[in-house]
Structure 1
Amino acid sequence: MIKKVKNALSGNAEEYHSDLLDPKVITRAEHGISRKDISDNALKVLYRLNSAGFDAYLVGGCVRDLMMGLHPKDFDVVTNATPDEVKDLFKNCRLIGRRFRLAHVVFGREIIEVATFRGHHQSAPEDKSKKSAEVLGKQNQEGQILRDNVFGSIEEDAERRDFTVNAMYYRVTDYTVTDFANGMQAIQNKRLELIGDPETRYREDPVRMLRAVRFAAKLEMEISPTSADAIHEHGNLLSNIPPARLFEEVIKLFISGQGLKTFELMQEYDLIQPLFPQLAPLLVDPESRETQFIKQMLINTDNRINTGQRVTPAFMYAAMLWYPIEEHCQKLMDEAGLNHFDAFNIAVNDVLHRQIQRIMIPKRFTTTMREIWLLQLRLPKRFGRRAYQMLEHARFRAAYDFLLIRGQIEGGTLLELADWWTEFQEVSADKRKRMLVKLREAEGSPARRPRRRQKSKKPSAS
């Protein structure tokens, strides 16, 4: 297919060749999208851009979800206005990003992300005084896009989208949806397919492999064979992604309400190794305690998210790294002759340091992770006032939930300990005292008698 299009930003007509796009206009009568299902703030952004003479569309996941009858969590807008022009229109706008220059229009807690139509990277013009695509857009030797501020037309933008289901554009002026890559057919077939050559697209941005498994789990779709085969071959490219960006992507993977499905797909496509290299060797056996522990954690996390309860990434990361810490701790005890407490603390530092090289976990989460881990050593110590003090600890509930999963998977004394703490939280104060007495008797430890304070003798007068 060859199209004659006009670059909306430069104003220069150019030949645009594409056999990847087959645009179809879906009228209001043919789709189920209603403005009632769209964020009021997103509509404000669309209307203001249109009033200023710019083209503006809802695009990507929000349109896909609306077409599938789902409720989008956020709304993204695409336009032919540049980021600076968007900022001029909205006082509540901030520009972010270097790799992708974006405008965030802030309405309290809701952020409407506004992007400019992306264009194709081109060779530098002869006139060196002009900014070239090589300056605005940059790729490394492996084809990964390092900078992508090349602006273009809506057709180019559609071709630059990752999956066919994400190349649908909703226009509020006439309520139509332009489907550039047969996204509706992909929805009907429940098939997730990349736009363009999978190897090239994964090299441009390896995170697309993570997005593939996340969308497949969320939308209950099958990844097309060509898109799936390339994941096995290029998963190692994820090591080129900055650790800070991977932190955000991993949160989307596992704290989305479909964490277990996503995890199983990641195992299928060998994507655990590039993200959690210390954990991956422990998951070879699907029946191992390590695998079952991660799955149970994700089942619990999914249940909490899907019932409207809060979760923290710290708990998920604490679970992912628990058995690598245990294994490294045992190795230090065997090889260096360290006691368990010292070996455990060194293992925590070593495992965290290695993981942060791959995924940059913020300190506010690593602090909580450390507390959850260290409380696993304190939970068995319940004599005297320790049990009561433990209940008052800020991280007790998270540590208890962590222990509960360990007990469910490993059984034995861990399960007994978890059951004891379950009962101790629920019973009356008198019952708690009896539980502690019974525990002391079972351990064979005599009850301590309270010390009597000895009166100090006054020195006799000489």
Structure 2
Amino acid sequence: MRLPEPVIIPRDQHPISRKQISRAALNVLYGLHDAGFEAFLVGGCLRDLLTGIQPKDFDVVTNATPEEIERTFRRARIIGRRFRLVHVRFGPEVIEVATFRALGEADESDDDRRHSHDGQILRDNVYGSIEEDALRRDFTVNALYYNIADFALYDFAGSMDDIKARRLRLMGDPATRYREDPVRMIRAVRFAAKLDFDIDPATEAPLYELAPLMGQVPPARLFDEMLKLFLSGQAQDTLKLLQEYGLFDALFPATAEVMTDSDQRLLEAAMRNTDRRLAQDKPVTPAFLFAVLLWPALRARQAMHLDNGMAPAVALNKAAGQVIAEQVSQIAIPRRFSSVVREIWDLQPRLPRRHGNRAGQLVTHPRFRAAYDFLLLREEAGEIAPGVGQWWTDYQEADEDAREDMVRALGKAAPSSGGEGSGRKRRRRRRRGGGGSGGAG
């Protein structure tokens, strides 16, 4: 294969300045350069700088081997088996450093490069030149290099033209590249949404057919990719593209199978809310996202159990366990998040039941706020009638006396109004002494 000759863009002909590069990344670049190695910034950080986005990460590539990199820096360690990389730490920042990777076919006798029978890369630790490394990049907009030796940009694949045209284009044959690594399909969606780029027709065409290949990706890797998809500030556009190309069905099959119009509105409302919170520098927990994304599947499974005569609470609990277990086989949700998902779900039927001491107890629950936000989204989507959400909004803003008045007012309403669960009236036991309901403590 003929290797590409780079178009070299000197410093006075491009806008990237060292002032835009993190101090840790500069330390790594200069450390490698001073040790006699080639050192380049590569990929997404350059793409982002050229499109007016401040990068979160700066990646470095070099002709030094992982062992040579590790010896060059005091706080460095080699990681990974599929792709061996080096993490170099300067203060709180970690810079990922990779060695130029070579082209070539996998050989069964070569332990450093292995592919699966369907072409997926299982391991690739054969090193080469910068020209070969450029051809190994996924998208042309990520095949741009910044040389610390002369501050020039090295463009091997028409990267600058595609960035100017706001076009996302895969390097090489798209179907082959997707089969090598199916995660490239959701990366295409993520970049298109994040950068507001159009996906090149040749890059777009195989997505519809190859989306099922996502089932071959290790579930733990897909969890990290899902967070990048929905927590980059463009969750609403990302959801639309995932559904358009059939990738949502591959990632969340149980939800996709039962989606209704109100479910679609719920997901869209949640994505808008996520983007809004991130724009305001507010936190978004992965548990909340999974609670929303799996809610349609939970409701469908719970309804099936109810039809079989199961009690509502038991049906909810059983359905929750089944839905999460099935989803974990596709996307590995850590237990610290899946347990919170279940708590958010468990609180949904409890939030309308506010009589007596219940409201005071619920508002102190550690997952109350997330469950309350989830309830508001369900009302916004039209899944349930509005009213309970506003009551809880007012309750949180009220003082103790006003809260007692709000609860007493509920008691004057008809038992069937407000979704309070069973219509039976219970005889209230008179307490000795004047103890009140549980507070925040």
Normalising to structure 2: TM-score of the pair?
Answer: 0.93
Q: What does 1:145-294 align with in structure 2 at a 5 Å threshold?
A: 145-283=121-259, 288-294=261-267
The question of 1:314 aligning with 2:287 is answered yes
Residue type at the aligned position of 1:266: L
Structure showing greater radius of gyration is 1
Which of these residues, 328, 346, 350, is aligned with residue 301 of structure 2?
Answer: 328
- Encode CA deviations 1:163-193: one digit per residue, 9 max, x unaligned: 0110000012211000110111001111100
Q: Which residue number in structure 1 is paired with residue 276 of structure 2?
A: 303
Q: What does 1:44-443 align with in structure 2 at a 5 Å threshold?
A: 44-122=27-105, 134-283=110-259, 288-335=261-308, 337-410=309-382, 412-413=384-385, 415-443=386-414
- Encode CA deviations 1:181-225: one digit per residue, 9 max, x unaligned: 011100111110001000110011010000001000111111010
> C-alpha distance in 2, partners of 1:24/1:113?
25
Residue type at the aligned position of 1:229: A
The question of 1:17 aligning with 2:14 is answered no
List structure 1 segments (4+ residues) > 6 angstroms apart after TM superposition: none
Q: Is the 8 A contact 2:258 2:300 kept in 1?
A: no
> C-alpha distance in 2, partners of 1:451/1:189?
74
Alignment RMSD, CA only? Answer: 1.6
Q: Which residue number in structure 2 is paired with residue 451 of structure 1?
A: 431
Q: What displacement does 1:443 show?
A: 3.7
> C-alpha distance in 1, partners of 2:106/2:211?
29
Residue type at the aligned position of 1:437: R
SS at match of 2:111: helix
User: Matched residues, percent identical?
Assistant: 50
SS at match of 1:146: strand
> C-alpha distance in 2, partners of 1:62/1:452?
68
Residue type at the aligned position of 2:272: I
Q: Which residue number in structure 1 is paired with residue 437 of structure 2?
A: none
> C-alpha distance in 2, partners of 1:69/1:349?
44
- Count of residue pairs the alignment pairs up: 424
> C-alpha distance in 2, partners of 1:68/1:412?
42
> C-alpha distance in 2, partners of 1:157/1:419?
56
Q: Is the 8 A contact 2:40 2:62 kept in 1?
A: yes
> C-alpha distance in 2, partners of 1:281/1:374?
23
Where in structure 1 are there 5+ consecutive unaligned residues? 1-15, 125-131, 454-462
SS at match of 2:40: strand
> C-alpha distance in 2, partners of 1:162/1:221?
16
The question of 1:30 aligning with 2:30 is answered no
SS at match of 1:111: strand
> C-alpha distance in 1, partners of 2:24/2:335?
33
SS at match of 1:103: strand
Where in structure 2 are there 5+ consecutive unaligned residues? 416-424, 434-441
